[in-house]
Amino acid sequence: MRISTTWAQQLSVDAMNVQQTKLAKLNQQMSSGVKVSTPADDPAAAVRILDLNGTIAKTNQYQSNIATVRGRLNIEESALTTSGNIITRVKELTTQAMNATLNSSDRLTIKAEVDQMIQELAGVANTKNANGEFIFSGDLSTVPAFMQNPTTGEYVYQGGAGQRAVQISPTRQVADGELGVNVFENITSSSPAADQNGNRSVFNTLKALSEGLNATFSASSGKISGDRFLRYGLDYSTATTVFDLVSSVQTLPAKVVSTTSTIDLSGKKFSGVEAIVTEVNKQLAASSLPLPATIQARSNGNRLEFVSVATGSTSSLTINNTFGTFLTDAGFTQGQTKTGADLPVAPLQVFQSQLGDVLTDLDAAQNSILQATTSVGVRQNALDNQEAQNGKFVLDTQSTLSQTQDLDYADAISKFQLQSTALQAAQQTFAKIKGLSLFNYL
């Protein structure tokens, strides 16, 4: 076999290039501090690094979510504290107003402060977070939680039916706020003015107090409310839907007159609760001619309710399903009924009775706010615990990532010195081989 001078030199050049490549790679690793900079360096390790980085990024997002929820809960806690202070002040005013020595002027002065408290409480119930979202509106956070009905003067819930949940770990979610309907509206009441579920909103309680202080006593009317949210309406365009509304009024001590109005929604589609109210009232008016209608439909936020026009225990109303699914769709029950409450004979007795009910209901409202505050505290503790757990997980994952990706400098320096020596040897060998020639021996 013949070995040419060119081939011998090329072998030496290739050997030097290999050593230089290894040395350059070590130099790049030492300058960057990582031993796997491209998938070609170690395909299995590169995949592992991508997976670990993705896990760290996702967990950091959970930490960011926790910080966001904590901020919202802090705002809610402050709002609940303010609400509790308002209720405490109103209880003081109610106790003061029950003093029989006060005159009408004194009570009107108390009424002025109570009216301010109602507006303040409504403002607190419509508190926004840093993003401009209403904290008590649930999953309809762009809608005010409570708005005042211009007809009745009552504050009605407009928010969503569900709480918003935020992911704080791969398997855990936390609600970022309480539903205003649970905090301010669904409050157990001992008053005759309570709804069919035995509840009265704190706003209606304060409204009753204000009216009492103004000496405007009115008997409560029969009222039944559905418990389903009808924000997006109902569609009976291809269905038969009929129900009856029955009004009973006692005209004489031994005589009760009942009137039945049949409501037919078959073949109709409604965009929202107001459209349903308009259609039902239209049919009620038509069925009562030539006499005025004794029942009226109206909206209560996103829910539908029916009210007896007459007041007192002499009036009641009942809803019965004839055909279709309206009662279920709107959240009523078959035969659901409500009777109004009579006034006591003496105005002072009325006043004392109303204020006694107000005090009892304010205690219940305060308990509702306390329960909501407790719920906020529980979730804040959960956030703290999950944040610590996430932080420990990130630290452990970063440690694993470092073992996979980061360079061992002691080992790298040793290899660098070895490769430098090998390169020098290759260069010296090339210098020797380059000088070999038969002509030197001729």
Residue with tokens 């290039």: 17
3-state secondary structure of 255: strand
Residue with tokens 């009976």: 236
> For position 173, what pLDDT does the model report?
92
> For position 12, what pLDDT does the model report?
58
Under-50 pLDDT residues of the chain: 1, 345-346
In SS3 terms, 46-90 reads as HHHHHHHHHHHHHHHHHHHHHHHHHHHHHHHHHHHHHHHHHHHHH
Buried-exposed string 344-364: b where 16+ CB fall within 10 A, e elsewhere: eeeeeebbbbbbebbbebbeb
> For position 346, what pLDDT does the model report?
45
* Contacts for 415 with CB less than 8 Å, ≥ 6 apart: 26
Cα distances (Å, whole numbers) of residue 384 to 66, 287, 389, 401: 8, 61, 9, 26
Q: How far is the C-alpha of 41 from the C-alpha of 34, rounded, in Å?
A: 11
> For position 114, what pLDDT does the model report?
94
The DSSP bridge pattern shows strands 315-323 and 303-308 to be unpaired
Q: How far is the C-alpha of 340 from the C-alpha of 347, rounded, in Å?
A: 18
CA-wise closest residue to 368 among 178, 140, 122: 178
Q: How far is the C-alpha of 292 from the C-alpha of 259, rounded, in Å?
A: 12
Cα distances (Å, whole numbers) of residue 153 to 115, 206, 260, 284: 12, 12, 29, 23
Radius of gyration of the chain (CA): 39
> Of all helices (H) and strands (E), which one includes residue 117?
helix 104-125
CA-wise closest residue to 281 among 269, 266, 265, 257: 265
Half-sphere exposure of 328 (CA within 13 A, CB side): 5
CATH architecture of the domain covering 34-218+343-406: Up-down Bundle (1.20)
Phi/psi region, residue 406 (left: phi>0; alpha: psi -120 to 50; beta: rest), is beta
Q: How far is the C-alpha of 1 from the C-alpha of 8, rounded, in Å?
A: 13
> For position 35, what pLDDT does the model report?
57
> For position 36, what pLDDT does the model report?
61
What is the DSSP-derived secondary structure letter of residue 177?
S
Q: pLDDT tens digits for 15-26?
A: 666 666 665 565
Q: How far is the C-alpha of 377 from the C-alpha of 77, rounded, in Å?
A: 8
Which pair of tokens denotes residue 252? 């004489």
Buried-exposed string 163-191: b where 16+ CB fall within 10 A, e elsewhere: ebebebbeeeebbbbbbbbbbbbbbbbeb
CA-wise closest residue to 136 among 182, 172, 97: 182
Q: How far is the C-alpha of 73 from the C-alpha of 78, rounded, in Å?
A: 9
Q: How far is the C-alpha of 288 from the C-alpha of 310, rounded, in Å?
A: 14
Q: pLDDT tens digits for 261-287?
A: 999 999 999 998 999 999 999 999 888
Q: Is 224 exposed, middle or buried (0-12, 13-18, 19+ CB in 10 A)?
A: buried
Residue with tokens 């009605």: 156
Which pair of tokens denotes residue 266? 């078959």
Q: How far is the C-alpha of 191 from the C-alpha of 205, rounded, in Å?
A: 9
Domain segments of the chain: what residues?
Answer: 34-218+343-406, 221-342
> For position 309, what pLDDT does the model report?
77
Check: CB of residue 73 under 8 Å from CB of residue 81. Answer: no
3-state secondary structure of 193: coil
Which pair of tokens denotes residue 117? 């408290």
Q: pLDDT tens digits for 191-200?
A: 877 877 888 8
> For position 355, what pLDDT does the model report?
83
Phi/psi region, residue 215 (left: phi>0; alpha: psi -120 to 50; beta: rest), is left
> Of all helices (H) and strands (E), which one includes residue 251?
strand 242-252
